[in-house]
Amino acid sequence: MPSRARFLLLQVGAWLLGYGLVVAYMAQRIHNLGYICAFTAAAFASYAATIYGYIYGLHPRLYRHLPGGIFGLVVTAYLILIGAARFYVEVYVVRPFYPMAHPGFLSGDKGHLGYVAVTTIFALGFGLLARAALRSVILQQQKEELENKQLQAEMNLLKAQVQPHFLFNTLNNIYYEAYLEAPRTADLVEKLAALMRYFVDLSRQEHVPLSAEVDFLQNYIALEKIRFRHELCVNLYFDAAPDVLVPPMLLIPLVENLFKHSFDKRQAANAADLRLTHADGWLTFETTNALPVAPATSPGGFGLRNLRERLRLLYGPQFELSAQPEHDQFVARLKIPV
């Protein structure tokens, strides 16, 4: 059975048990079972309204939104409303049905009013304790869930550390073998190793130096070039402080978009300019290339859409992202505050 359903059954059982005990106790003093059940039901209804109204209504909705004094007045008004409703039911609904059951009880006098007030306040006190206990149980559950998640994360981290260690060692060995026979291949292996190291070590961080992001772009571009039969001319102009901090892998979607949609493998000449500048608190990254004669797909797919969503989470509305033709060129531009 789910924990929520079990908790609900426990509450129902507790209320029924308390109701039965009060009825059994009062039956020893008042010999009218219908009368006892009726006024006990009215009293327990007011207790339930007081406790649950505070736990699930007043406290979560108003406690943090109202000053302490105002919240106290609201709670007092709520208790007066509950007490007045109970007093009315006991005097004008229950009592007329059983006029001779117990002349001195629920008679509508000051003693009756004081009894309603005291028991309602006790119900509120029980509600305060119940809410504190419930909060403690919830916090304990959250703590256990957090510990389980942390343990799982540590296991995953351990696995992630073992696997890249083997990968990097293997790449180093391949690099050494390739260096002896084919230096250009060794250089590509070295760039791939640097790319993988960025993925593993830096991509999980909140911010990385701009120089690391630029090195990542350069390695990516070098590895992408080997897929093309003809030479590519990709120029990267860098005019920004290398220690500026940026979120990792924020610039790569524009470069991926460039290789996916803007270059034609059948052409002998493909060229693009990448400009990265920093001025007046803004970092601007721009890719420019000639419009392809017949692009395979329309530029700007899932990569740019995902990038836009990520930028919204990072910067809210304070960013600019565009990818569109301008004259005879295609320009993709990203501008973020740093």
Is 50 exceeded by the pLDDT of residue 39? Answer: yes
Tokens of 53: 């109204």
Do residues 20 and 144 share a domain? yes
- Cβ count near 337 (within 10 Å): 11
185, part of any domain: no
Strands 232-239, 270-279: pairing kind: parallel
Do residues 136 and 251 share a domain? no
38 pLDDT band, cuts 50/70/90, is: confident
Do residues 228 and 131 share a domain? no
Q: What is the mean pLDDT of residues 321-334?
A: 89
159, part of any domain: no
**Number of residues that make up the chain:** 338
328 vs 293: CA distance, rounded Å: 11
204, part of any domain: no
The residue type of 335 is K
In percent, how much of the chain has pLDDT > 70?
85
231, part of any domain: yes
The reported pLDDT for the residue numbered 180 is: 66
Number of structural domains the chain divides into: 2
In percent, how much of the chain has pLDDT > 90?
12
187, part of any domain: no
279, part of any domain: yes
Q: What is the mean pLDDT of residues 272-297?
A: 83
Do residues 144 and 227 share a domain? no
Domain holding 43, by residue range, is 3-150
175, part of any domain: no
pLDDT digits (tens, 9 = 90+) for 44-86: 998 889 888 888 888 888 877 888 888 889 889 988 998 899 8
H or E element, residue 274: strand 270-279
The answer to whether 79 and 120 are in contact (CB under 8 A) is yes
Do residues 117 and 251 share a domain? no
The answer to whether 273 and 237 are in contact (CB under 8 A) is yes
177, part of any domain: no
The answer to whether 254 and 300 are in contact (CB under 8 A) is no
